[in-house]
Amino acid sequence: MLDPQLDAPARDALAQQARGQIEAAGALKQENSWGLRKMAYEINRRTEADYRWYRFEAPTELLDTLDHNLKIADGVLRFRIFKVEPNTPTIVPPAVAAPGPRERSDGPRDRGPREDRDDRESREDREPAAFESAGE
């Protein structure tokens, strides 16, 4: 996930550096650029990031080098390296990012108007509680 405040050529250069390291010591199987997407939560006061995704085979030494270089690279907000089985299906980016909590049309606490709940029994009509005192 790259910082969207960098200009596009700088983000492409960061992605190209990672790709170059992968191709130099491993085998790049697939690459996807998901573009700018809204993040689930802020990272470094950013609400969106430029998502890049690589699938590759590499020795452990490359993973260590890539991990180190991405940690210290300016412009990399977050990254993850996962080990997957060779027959694992590839990830397809969603067509549109999911709406954030403020963009949803119905709030999490919006359960509709209260008048629709007349079919419920009132508290007085319900059976008495099962935890009455033993002295009665």
Q: Cβ distance 18 to 65 under 8 Å?
A: no
Angle between helix axes 8-25 and 60-72 (nearest 10 degrees) is 160
More confident residue, 85 or 117: 85
Set out the domains of the chain in order of their start, with CATH numbers: 1-94 (3.30.70.60)
Q: What is residue 104's predicted lDDT score, i.e. its pLDDT?
A: 46
Provide mean pLDDT across the span 48-58: 91
Confidence of residue 35 (pLDDT cuts 50, 70, 90): confident
20: pLDDT strictly greater than 70? yes
Provide mean pLDDT across the span 50-61: 91
74 sits in the region (left: phi over 0; alpha: psi -120 to 50; else beta) called: beta
